[in-house]
Each structure stands twice: as structure tokens, then as C-alpha cells.
Amino acid sequence: MATKNIEAQLLSHEAEISSDLPFRKWLYAWLLDPHIEGNYHKTIEHWIGLLIVANLFALVFEHLPAVYEPNQIWFHYFDVASVIIFSIEYVLRLYLAPEDDEFKKHRFSRLRYVSSPFAVIDLIAILPFFLQAFISIDLRFLRFLRLLRILKLFRVLIPAVKEFVAINKGRTFRQKVHALVFPSEYGGELHHMFDTFIVIWVVISVIAVVLESVQSIHYLLNLEFLILDAIAVSVFTLEYCLRLYCCVEEPGYQKAITGRLKLAKSTSSVIDLLAIAPFFLEVFLHHLFDLRFMRVFRLLRLLKLTRYTGATQSLSKVIAREWPVMAASAFIMLLLVVMTASLGYLFEHEAQPDKFENIPQSIYWAVVTLASVGYGDISPITPAGRAMTIVLALIGIGIFAIPAALLSAAFADQLKSDREALVNTIYEMLADGVIDDDEAHFIKTESKRLHLTDDDLRRLVDKAKKERELMDDVSILPLHKIASNPEHTIEHFKYLLGQIRQLNLLADQEQLNETLDKPDRLTSSDKQLWRLINRQEAPPT
């Protein structure tokens, strides 16, 4: 088993392209060949896609005189830069067409490229700019032609759709929807695009909600905000319905009714529902209640992003594991807050009846003081109150730091534990000497969730490989050879412990316990050792 082959499966690496190739073939291999891992093809597609989306937003803002007229020169510069980039891309693809698998089999490969649908779309993206230099074109018609630049996204979308159709050939419609919405081996690149599309709309809608609170911006873009919110709600509603429809294909949700109800009650689904609920409640119940205050709850859409990051999963595990300690810490803080608020009321009420009016109002002062924030809007003026404030401020530095320290230490410990678990998984996967595509996909997904760089993953793979090779070597050595090397002795001891635990797991427990209890089978110390190894409580002797 070669380490280089394993790393090629798991790690992103620079493409190995010979510099001896003809220039055109070499340039195509680096820039546009989709079959070479590690070249710049995906990077170019990614940035071109972002530029297309940016052009779409620029066209929207050009329709707003209050935004466009003061910044007209910057819009022009952006359009010129976009046309230059799109023109370079078009010329580059035209020059490299003889190297493209789709066109090189034709005699006039460049002519074939020019007449292809993608090339026509690329030409449309830049043609309006050059036409206005020679032909007088109505500005509205020009903007419409520039809007067609969004068609360039089909260059990325169509191959992903073809791949998705090929992977899901022969599967039912619901299974195809499941592959699109939920992560699976059938999703392909189209599933990642779907996730990216949802993330983009989450970010756009949240930014819109934030900007809508600025009165001057809301006055200018009131209609645009309404349209944007309606589109966002439509997208999120469709996603929510698709998840409910196809969740029965997901393990754990197979039953038609109870499975969908189980999904609807899950945290992620509740967040999805809260992301769209304010819109529908305001639409259908506005004549009964004033529900404009619910618009602020649209910011809950930001929580939808937790589905696409593993950091929240790790944090949830940490909180669940450390909850007893955190609850004890919270109880101490609560007790301290109430006691200090009561003392603050006792010492300061007569001197400042307007600020220390009652104990609940004093709680605000106690929390601000213990948290070492010190806004200064409420402060004691009596000697006893000021002395107590000094003590509270010093105590608060330690008391309020406990939960943060607990979370920080527990999060680091959880991350370390997850990485060790990944090493053990790689160790087991290396047992047959091969890491297949499914195993490689799992390792890549886990390494992304754990925020591992290529160097980190390479070290983990090397560690697991060395442990596996050491075990493979030790297992065939005679005992006296193993005993001569302390490292081999420890590794063999760990191996034997694992074998004993596997025996315990595979055996029928009832029959095993009956046999263990027979007096002529094992000695008392042997029984205790067996139960100790298998983490069972030894019976009293």
C-alpha cells in the first residue's frame, strides 16, 4: 500500500502537468481541463460565477436613481472590468478550443466552438458593451441584454445536472429529490450547488433585513425589499416542503407520517419553519393583529446556516457533556447575583431611591458589576455600597469566567477527541490496504468538519498508517521477539486487549456469564481481570 496513493485520494494537491507539453495543450491543462485535479479550472469557474452574480446585483441597483446617479462612474468601471474579464475568457476558450474534447474531433474546432450554445452565451455577455460603441442602443434594451449574462451560469449548472441524472438513473422521483436536498452518495455536484444556493439566499435575506432597519435605505428600496423577501420566503418554503416530502428516504424517518412528524419536530426543521413563519403570519393575520414587530424575527434565518457547518454539532456535544458543571456554575452565579442585588438595595435604597428602587432593579446593577462591564448608569454612592462593589468586581472576574473557561477547555477536548476518532477510523479503513471512494469521501467530510488542513490530514494518515504497519509487523512475530521491544510489547498488549473485548461483544452474554461462574473454568483473579478488561464491575469476593 503506497502512502502517495492514499494521499492522492484524500488530499488536495497541485496538478502534475509536464512543462514539456506544447504551449496550447499546457495552458488548457492548467486552466480549462475539468479532468485534471489540482488545476485552476474550478477556481476560474468559481470566480466567474461570483462575477456573474455581482453583475446581476449591479443591474438591479442601476434601476434606483438615488443609488445609481451618485455612483454612476463606479458602475461604469465595474461594467468595463466585467467585460474585460468575460472577453478574456471568451478569447481564451476560443484559442484553446482545439484541445477541448468536445471540439477537437471536428476539423474546424474553433468554428464549432463559436456555434456552440455556451459560446453564444459567452458572446451575448460581452456583445452589448461593444455594440453601444458603434450603434445607438436604447439604454433599457442594453440593460436587458446585459441581464443575459446570468445565462453564463448554465456553463456550471448543465454539467452538474447531467452528472446528477446519470447518477440517479433508474431511481424514483422522491429518491432524486432526496439526493438533491439531503447529503448522500447520489447528490453529486448539484447537491452542493443546492446548498450553496440556499446559503446565498440566507445571507442576502439577512442583509436585507439589517439594511431595511436603516430608514434612509428603506425609503429608497422599499419595493425591492418586499420583492426580495417574497422571493426568499418562496425559496425557503420550497426547501422546507421538499425536505418534508423526501425525508422518508432518510434513515430514521422512513415512516410516511411519523417520519415526517419526527423531522418537523427536529431543531433544524423548527428553524426552517421560523424562517418563513413571520411572512405568512403577517400576510394572513395583518387585519387582526399588528404583526410588524415580527419582521425582526426574519433574522432567525441566519440559524439556517448551522445546518451547513459542523462547528455547531461540536458545540452541542460540548454543552451536553459539560451541562452538569455549567448548571452548577450558573446556579452559583444566580445565587451571587440575587444576594448582591439584595445587599445593594439594602445599602443604596435610601440614598438613591430612584436607581435602587427595588431588588429586581438592583439585579441589573449586580449583573453589570459582576460581569465587569460597568456601564456607569447605576453606581453606588454610600461607603458600604462602594466597598461591596469592589468585592463584587473582583469576585465577578473569576465567577463569570468559569463558564467561558469550561466551554473553551471542553471544546478543545471535544475537537481532540473527534480527531482521535478520525485517526481510529482511518486505522480501521487501512486494514485491507485500500481506501475506497466512500471511505475517502467520509474522511474528507470529517476533516472539513474538524477544520483540518491538508497538512493536518496528512499527519493523521501517516500516524494511522504507521500504527497499522506496526501492528501488521508485530502480529506475526514470536512472543520472545515482541517482548524484546517495549514498543512492540505495548502494541501487542493493546492488540490482545482489543481481541478480548471483541470476544466479549460477539459472545452470547447469558451463556458466557454462566460459563464464567462455573468454579472449574477460571480462577477468581482471572474472572476479575476479564471483567476489568471488559469494563464490567467485578463481583464481590
Examine the domain organization and report whether 151 and 263 are in the same domain: no
Q: Residue 537 — very low, low, confident or very high, per pLDDT cuts 50/70/90?
A: very low
pLDDT score, position 137? 59
Do the domain assignments include residue 436? Answer: no
Q: Using one digit for the tens of pLDDT, what is the confidence trace for 97-142? A: 898 888 888 888 888 888 888 888 888 878 877 777 676 655 555 5
Examine the domain organization and report whether 63 and 156 are in the same domain: yes
Residue type, 201: W
CATH number assigned to the domain comprising residue 90? 1.20.120.350
Q: Using one digit for the tens of pLDDT, what is the confidence trace for 212-227? A: 888 877 887 788 888 8
Examine the domain organization and report whether 391 and 276 are in the same domain: no
Examine the domain organization and report whether 351 and 376 are in the same domain: yes
Do the domain assignments include residue 522? Answer: no
Q: What 3 state SS string does 424-478 have? A: HHHHHHHHHCCCCHHHHHHHHHHHHHCCCCHHHHHHHHHHHHHHHHHHHHHCCCC
Helix (H, G, I), strand (E, B) or coil at 497: helix
**Is pLDDT above 90 for 241?**
yes
More confident call, 146 vs 102: 102
More confident call, 147 vs 330: 330
Least confident interval from 15-24, 47-56, 419-428: 419-428
Examine the domain organization and report whether 217 and 278 are in the same domain: yes
Q: What is the DSSP string of 275-309?
A: HHHHHHHHHHHTTTS--GGGGGGGGGGGGGGGGG-
| Percent of the residues in the chain that have a pLDDT greater than 90, as a whole number | 7
Length of the chain equals 541
Do the domain assignments include residue 230? Answer: yes
Do the domain assignments include residue 450? Answer: no
Residue 135 phi, psi (nearest 5): -125, 140
Q: What 3 state SS string does 102-125 have? A: CCCCCCCHHHHHHCCHHHHHHHHH
Examine the domain organization and report whether 48 and 129 are in the same domain: yes
Examine the domain organization and report whether 177 and 295 are in the same domain: yes
| Percent of the residues in the chain that have a pLDDT greater than 70, as a whole number | 82
**How many whole angstroms separate alpha carbon 162 and alpha carbon 349?**
75
Average of per-residue pLDDT values in the chain: 78
Do the domain assignments include residue 525? Answer: no
**Which pairs from 414-419 meet CB under 8 Å and 24+ separation?**
414/314, 414/317, 414/318, 414/321, 415/314, 415/450, 418/314, 418/446, 418/449, 418/450, 419/450, 419/452, 419/460
Provide the residue range defining the domain that includes 263: 171-307
The last residue of a domain, from among 117, 137, 167: 167
Examine the domain organization and report whether 237 and 365 are in the same domain: no
The last residue of a domain, from among 307, 324, 344: 307
- Number of separate domains in the chain: 3
Do the domain assignments include residue 194? Answer: yes
Q: Residue 445 — very low, low, confident or very high, per pLDDT cuts 50/70/90?
A: confident
**Single pTM value for the model:** 0.64
Helix axes of 267-285 and 222-246: crossing angle, nearest 10 degrees: 130
Q: Using one digit for the tens of pLDDT, what is the confidence trace for 340-395? A: 888 888 888 888 888 788 888 888 888 887 776 767 777 788 888 888 878 877 77
The last residue of a domain, from among 167, 184, 204: 167
More confident call, 189 vs 38: 189
pLDDT score, position 541? 44
Q: Using one digit for the tens of pLDDT, what is the confidence trace for 297-317? A: 677 777 777 776 666 666 777
Q: Residue 5 — very low, low, confident or very high, per pLDDT cuts 50/70/90?
A: low
Examine the domain organization and report whether 337 and 389 are in the same domain: yes
Examine the domain organization and report whether 139 and 219 are in the same domain: no
Q: Using one digit for the tens of pLDDT, what is the confidence trace for 155-201? A: 778 888 988 999 999 999 999 999 999 888 888 888 888 988 888 88
